[in-house]
Each structure stands twice: as structure tokens, then as C-alpha cells.
Amino acid sequence: MNLQETIQKQIDEVMDTFEFERCSEALRLVGCCWLNGIDEEDRVYQIRKHGRKRMKRACAMAITSYEALRNDPEEMIHKTFDTGCLIGHCSIYTGDKEQKPWVKVNLTCYIDNSINDGEEFSENPEPTNKPKTQKDKKLAPIAFGVGDHPDYKHDITL
């Protein structure tokens, strides 16, 4: 199989085995999730549709990078495409003398209640008359990589 056929086969496998129903139920916990505004009977369909789109876009970006690097041995290309709760992953290895090139496609659902949901800003802010003193300290969200912390609950792969 060529690269495109292998990618399509893997996307189809993910679509057949991913637990979209569990993902839908888990996302009910996120109050501001776009999915919570959708009718009950349409939720799983929408997650499936968006999941496939995320994987296809990640793969398209990875293929573009692979085309540029295909003659460079031992290059690993990782591309992700995400918006909100679904992340499409595509990794392509260009191969070397001992190992043929390979591709891996995956989909992740994650639950995220962030304390920083975005804030508007001005590109030309007005100067303030506040004297420059010690900066106010803010608490920022802390992220751990999977396995770095025993209480890590941020990356829930369903």
C-alpha cells in the first residue's frame, strides 16, 4: 500500500474502534463545550465528523512535511490538528537503511477546563501611569506530561 492508502486504512480503523459514545459522555462535564449545545441524537455523529476531519488535516500537514523530507534518512514528522476536545495525530518516519518508512494515525479526546479561556487585548495599549514596581503574581495552570504525576487527570484518552 502507498502512503495515502495506509493513512486511509488507519483513519478507518480509528473510526471503527474509537469510543465516540464515551467521549460524548465525558464532554458533558465541560460546561462550555460546543457539543453541549447539540441535540442528544446528534452528539456522537458530530464527534465522529469532527474526529475524522482532525485526523485528515493532521495527515495532510504531515504528508506535506514528508514530501519535503522523504530523502532525509531517520526524520520523524509529528503533526497534530486540534480544536477543542479532539486532537488528530499523524506521525511519519522517513525510514533508514534498516527500517522502512512508516506512518501512524491516531485520535485523542481530552477533557480540559482551563482557568485561562482567552482574553481580549489591544494591539496599541494606552500607557498607564502606574509606577513600575514588583509585578503582580498570578497562578497559572500547571500541566504535567502523561505519567509525570500520579494525580494527572488532564489528558484523558478515550
Mean pLDDT lowest for which of 10-19, 24-33, 139-148? 139-148
| Domains in the chain: boundaries | 3-109
**102-114 average pLDDT score:** 84
Task: Give the pLDDT band (50/70/90) at residue 91.
Answer: very high
Task: Compute the distance between CA of residue 34 and CA of residue 88 in angstroms, rounded to an integer.
Answer: 18
- Is it the case that residue 96 has pLDDT exceeding 50? yes
Mean pLDDT of 1-17: 96
Identify the pLDDT of residue 95: 86
pLDDT of residue 132: 57
Q: Mean of the per-residue pLDDT values for the chain?
A: 79
Q: Output the pLDDT for position 105.
A: 96
Q: What is the pTM of this model?
A: 0.68
Q: Pick the more confident residue, 62 or 154.
A: 62
State mean pLDDT over 7-26.
Answer: 94
Outline where 33-151 has alpha helix (H): 43-69
CA distance 33 to 21: 15
Q: What is the pLDDT of residues 43-75, one digit of tens each?
A: 999 999 999 999 999 999 999 998 888 778 788
pLDDT in tens, 115-129: 555 677 888 767 666
